[in-house]
A and B are shown apart, each in its own frame.
Chain A
């Protein structure tokens, strides 16, 4: 039973040049036992620092960290019942794979038989049997990655910590390993905290996702909720690819006026936006929720906007149309057979049920209870 809890945790670094620099600010969350939680955010936002604090490799400046039912603030990494997989794998280059796997157990003074048994089990789970007597440099990137995971497994920890474990693999291998990691989680039944800057990885792996930016947690939610109800413009723009479009709009008489379109809002939405009557707001719509007129079978064709197409990208499965609304570039992801020509007008259908509204001052989502 191992939850991981941050109580108001904060981490400052003192840097000679930059002075005091806050890498993680007032971080609060509860990761439940056996949960797979992914931390995601742009590079430098404090993900690794958060993970290292869980591991005990960095000490938080203030706040409490709880693993299981213990406050672990003063515990050494080895006493926290965690294991970590590093971005560069951090395999000991002078040891064989077997020695790499058993190093931690030896340090814990486990019996020879137990070490042997654990190594055997881990290596068969990960298919490392053939590689045990080799040195890390004789292994391919994918194999090293497996060994790094194996080194964590043999310890049989309550919590696994992964720091961008797939970022050094090529695209194909990354997808394969992603699937394997998901399976591994089911099989091991342990708590997993996983850090990545790749939102696709986050969406596919995480049961819940923690989105961070500039050391601050922006939202903690399951993938679908993150996608459907992003807390603020940062999360909305970060999750999903291509990113969500933002358009400046004004609300008048229950209608949102955007350049090139006037969107009549359903009553419920209009009610929710009452307090913004006559004011500016930001309307968000994902590229996949804009349709070429002729392929808008699944949505009502009631709400449309006319745009001048500036760029067309053919991705095979879809086409991306780029156009301008006001000063902002907007993307639509449409059926590949949609008829659109460069520089010509095109009518797009808006899926009105998928609109998001944000306050331009606070960038927060406007709740439409």
Chain B
């Protein structure tokens, strides 16, 4: 083969070429990476160190595992774990069922009505946690003229001191979660339902599969990724439930609604014990990371069938 007689052009030095080829890309991610280093990585490391210290702005003292031992011996800590777990177990599965039923029903509607119900059921999600808490605080009015008590009155039930007694306080927060907005979950389910090929149901019809069989063999399995997604995000959010507690009960009465996130807030910004709060926050982080990793396992085995 005839080789070309080309002017040899001196190759630029390696670092120049590297900068020319990749410089822009690095520039494009520079801001997020710097922000990540300063506002995520540094704080995580710092929190880890703090959790072994009696923290003081001027001079912190190393106290080894004292924060952790104190935490694990603290009844209120265990109570907050219990409250958080109860809240999560009571809300997440039932909310998913509610979401699914609503989405399934909307799916049966004509497209105009679908939009109407989607919009209506989604609307409250644009209101802030503070707003929603304020409204529910008013609705939970313990006197007989409070909205919920008036409603109970129609059935001859005595007024309930919703948030004011340990018996019902946590339940009240759970009830509020049931009756809140399920809008985004509904929309995700609807998108997934719309993505199931019609031909699957037609084939099932030909095989005379019953409606229930079609549901268990086609609909439910194909919606599993969405369900799993809602399960995981639901668990993570409810592990961190905070604003409603802060606004409505301040963790009371008698710690009946103290969740782990509220406890961390209290340790840090009521008692200014940053070390203890950091230790507590790592327990929450452990919970969430475990859930996320389990999710990841589930998902990746699900996606690559």
Of B8-16, B74-82, B160-168, B186-194, the one contacting chain A is B8-16
Interface residues in B1-20 by Cβ distance below 8 A to A read 1-9, 11-12, 17, 20
- Chain B residue numbers with a CB within 8 Å of A76 are 20
Bound-state Cα–Cα, A3 to B2, Å: 12
A66 close to B11 (CB less than 8 A): no
- Chain A residue numbers with a CB within 8 Å of B4 are 3, 5, 7, 30, 66, 69
CB distance from B8 to the nearest CB of A (A): 6
B1 close to A71 (CB less than 8 A): no
Asked if A66 meets B12 with Cβ closer than 8 Å, knowing A28-B1, A30-B1, A74-B17, the reply is no
CB distance from A210 to the nearest CB of B (A): 13
B2 close to A30 (CB less than 8 A): yes
- Chain B residue numbers with a CB within 8 Å of A3 are 4
CB distance from A32 to the nearest CB of B (A): 10
Contact partner, A69, options B2, B7, B11, B17, Cβ 8 Å: B7
- Chain B residue numbers with a CB within 8 Å of A218 are none
B11 close to A74 (CB less than 8 A): yes
- Chain A residue numbers with a CB within 8 Å of B11 are 73-74
CB distance from B224 to the nearest CB of A (A): 25
CB distance from A57 to the nearest CB of B (A): 12
Name the residue among A64, A69, A70, A74 with the largest chain B CB count within 10 angstroms. A74
A70 close to B7 (CB less than 8 A): yes
B7 close to A74 (CB less than 8 A): no
B9 close to A70 (CB less than 8 A): yes
Main secondary structure of the interface of A (DSSP, over half): strand
Bound-state Cα–Cα, A315 to B298, Å: 54
Q: Closest chain A residue to B9 by CB distance?
A: A71
B9 close to A7 (CB less than 8 A): no
The interface on chain B, measured as residues whose beta carbon lies within 8 A of the other chain's beta carbons, has a size of 14
Q: Closest chain A residue to B16 by CB distance?
A: A74
Bound-state Cα–Cα, A66 to B5, Å: 9
CB distance from A85 to the nearest CB of B (A): 25
Bound-state Cα–Cα, A71 to B10, Å: 10
Bound-state Cα–Cα, A258 to B52, Å: 87
Interface residues in B258-297 by Cβ distance below 8 A to A read none
Contact partner, B6, options A59, A71, A74, Cβ 8 Å: A71
Bound-state Cα–Cα, A5 to B1, Å: 11
- Chain A residue numbers with a CB within 8 Å of B9 are 70-71, 74
Q: Closest chain B residue to A76 by CB distance?
A: B20
Interface residues in A54-85 by Cβ distance below 8 A to B read 59, 64, 66, 69-71, 73-74, 76
Bound-state Cα–Cα, A76 to B9, Å: 14
CB distance from B10 to the nearest CB of A (A): 9
CB distance from A56 to the nearest CB of B (A): 11
B3 close to A71 (CB less than 8 A): no
Bound-state Cα–Cα, A64 to B17, Å: 16
- Chain A residue numbers with a CB within 8 Å of B20 are 76
- Chain A residue numbers with a CB within 8 Å of B2 are 30
CB distance from A35 to the nearest CB of B (A): 14
- Chain A residue numbers with a CB within 8 Å of B6 are 5, 64, 66, 69-71
Bound-state Cα–Cα, A73 to B1, Å: 20
Chain A, residues 1-35, CB within 8 Å of chain B (1/0): the string is 00101010000000000000000000011100000
A71 close to B7 (CB less than 8 A): yes
Q: Closest chain A residue to B17 by CB distance?
A: A74
CB distance from B2 to the nearest CB of A (A): 6
CB distance from B18 to the nearest CB of A (A): 12
A74 close to B12 (CB less than 8 A): yes
- Chain B residue numbers with a CB within 8 Å of A59 are 21
CB distance from B66 to the nearest CB of A (A): 45
Interface residues in A133-167 by Cβ distance below 8 A to B read none
Bound-state Cα–Cα, A76 to B24, Å: 14
- Chain B residue numbers with a CB within 8 Å of A70 are 6-7, 9
Chain A, residues 80-108, CB within 8 Å of chain B (1/0): the string is 00000000000000000000000000000
- Chain B residue numbers with a CB within 8 Å of A28 are 1
CB distance from B12 to the nearest CB of A (A): 6
Bound-state Cα–Cα, A30 to B3, Å: 8
Bound-state Cα–Cα, A73 to B8, Å: 11
CB distance from B23 to the nearest CB of A (A): 13
Name the residue among B4, B7, B12, B20 with the largest chain A CB count within 10 angstroms. B4
Interface residues in A256-299 by Cβ distance below 8 A to B read none
Counting from the closest, the 4 A-B pairs by CB-CB distance are A5-B4, A66-B4, A66-B6, A71-B6
Q: 8 new A-B pairs (CB below 8 Å) besides A59-B21, A70-B6, A74-B17?
A: A28-B1, A30-B2, A30-B4, A66-B6, A71-B8, A73-B11, A74-B12, A76-B20
Q: Show 6 A/B contacts (Cβ-Cβ < 8 Å), sorted by A.
A: A3-B4, A29-B1, A69-B5, A70-B7, A71-B9, A74-B9
